[in-house]
Amino acid sequence: MSRKGESPRDKARARRRERLARRVRNPARGPARRRDGDAKDGGEDAPEDSPEETALVEAAPVEVAKPARLLHLRWDLDKTYLRTEFDTLRDLYRTFMQKAEDKVAIAGARVLLKELMDPHDGIPRRVTFISGSPSQMRRTLTRKLQLDGIVPDVFILKPNLSNLLRGRFRALRGQVGYKLKALLHSHMAAVEVDEYLFGDDAEQDAFIYSLYADILAGRVDATAMVAILNACKVYRRDTDEIMALHGSLYASGEVVRRIFIHLEARSPLGRFRPYGGRVVPVYNYFQAAMLLLDAAVLRVGAVWEVIAAMEATGYTPARFANSLQELLRRGVLAPIAADRAIEELAAEGARRGRDVDRFTRRLRTVTADLRSQPRPPPPWETEVNYLGLYHAARFRRQRYRLLGTGIRILD
């Protein structure tokens, strides 16, 4: 397969790419992993892998027979699941030193994930965590998830130390190369897969998740992919690996159903509009739960659990009602679906012996406040201009850096 003029380095790279592609095609060849994601080193490829690869190999699929149907839940950790501050060096240090017991999950996130993991409809679930936190935090973060009663199937952390030691400074901040590779690596083949992705607005989750979804859907071809990775200044080696995975997984199918972006930084919604209706920014996990109820992924009892968990952190009926109204105004939830959900919530609340009158009355009031005119949902299929979006985001970051801090109220 080698061509004339190829250096030994290129040959080694080609061999590695082939090996990765083989592993993607046949997940059973991956190294043996424990179910809790705390990977043991080993397997036939392990000794040759670089530290970065090792981190990703930890994400290699568990040896399972190809299921007929699968619900794959992909979660980011910081600011999506955990309430984390890493805007300053002091925040980063504090987060790094924080004990598992001191880490706090975002209101409703733990319950929503647990309810999503419940295979009430007989469809097996799989949970993958892909986080930008350094792999040195694995023990603390695994412990935190254990405390919350969550055992992820795959738990991928960023090999920041090895990036630092190898002088790959761009990889320390950059997320596109790392997360896209991790997503493609941990993609689970099945006859029918539904993927729900959860990220936040602090980084580039909407961009990366959409790109991943479009690769699987066959909408971003190799030429476009290379241009995007080059624009994102992804290291050559990562580009090669991603392109190998792209070749294997391209046009696998329309598997990503929804991408939920938790608006931790309260970014303007318009920033996510170019990604189309698949990306749904949410202000809280009640909004996500309502949409998942509408999609029949969650049961109404699970939504009540999310509401109860959020109430325990100080959420009032007004805040829930405003959140519901916001979904209606955006058109992501149809008024008829909202009415049905309110009825179901009222019935389930009454069944649980809760006084739901005030809550459901408030929900009905805010829906009545709106103009009674149907509004179309955001278009689902959109040809996303990834290069344009990347440059726009970069320009925005630079502008804010130059102009200083303050509330970023306008785009």
| Closest distance of CB 323 from other proteins, Å | 6
CA separation for the pair 38, 128 (Å, rounded): 13
Pick left, alpha or beta for residue 279 (phi over 0 → left; psi -120 to 50 → alpha; otherwise beta).
beta
> Please, which residue, 3 or 371, has the CB nearer to other proteins?
371
| Closest distance of CB 281 from other proteins, Å | 10
Residue with tokens 């998740």, as numbered in its chain: 209
Instruction: By CB under 8 A, name the binding residues for other proteins.
Output: 265-270, 273, 283-284, 316, 318-319, 321-323, 325-326, 329-330, 366, 369-371, 373, 375, 407-411
| Closest distance of CB 316 from other proteins, Å | 6
> Please, which residue, 165 or 265, has the CB nearer to other proteins?
265
CA separation for the pair 54, 162 (Å, rounded): 11
> Please, which residue, 57 or 338, has the CB nearer to other proteins?
338
| Closest distance of CB 275 from other proteins, Å | 14
| Closest distance of CB 100 from other proteins, Å | 28
Task: Write the CB contacts of 406 (distance below 8 Å, at least 6 apart in sequence).
Answer: none
> Please, which residue, 44 or 339, has the CB nearer to other proteins?
339
Structure tokens given for 18: 């082939």
> Please, which residue, 210 or 284, has the CB nearer to other proteins?
284
| Closest distance of CB 77 from other proteins, Å | 23
Q: Which residue type, as a one-letter code, is found at position 107?
A: A
| Closest distance of CB 271 from other proteins, Å | 8
Residue with tokens 């179309």, as numbered in its chain: 376
SS3 label, residue 211: helix
> Please, which residue, 29 or 329, has the CB nearer to other proteins?
329
Give the pairing of strands 154-158 and 125-134.
Answer: parallel
Q: 255: closest CA among 191, 299, 178, 180?
A: 191
Structure tokens given for 3: 């061509």
Q: 33: closest CA among 174, 155, 159?
A: 155
CA separation for the pair 75, 72 (Å, rounded): 10
**Sign of CA pseudo-dihedral 175, 178, 181, 187:** negative
> Please, which residue, 73 or 263, has the CB nearer to other proteins?
263
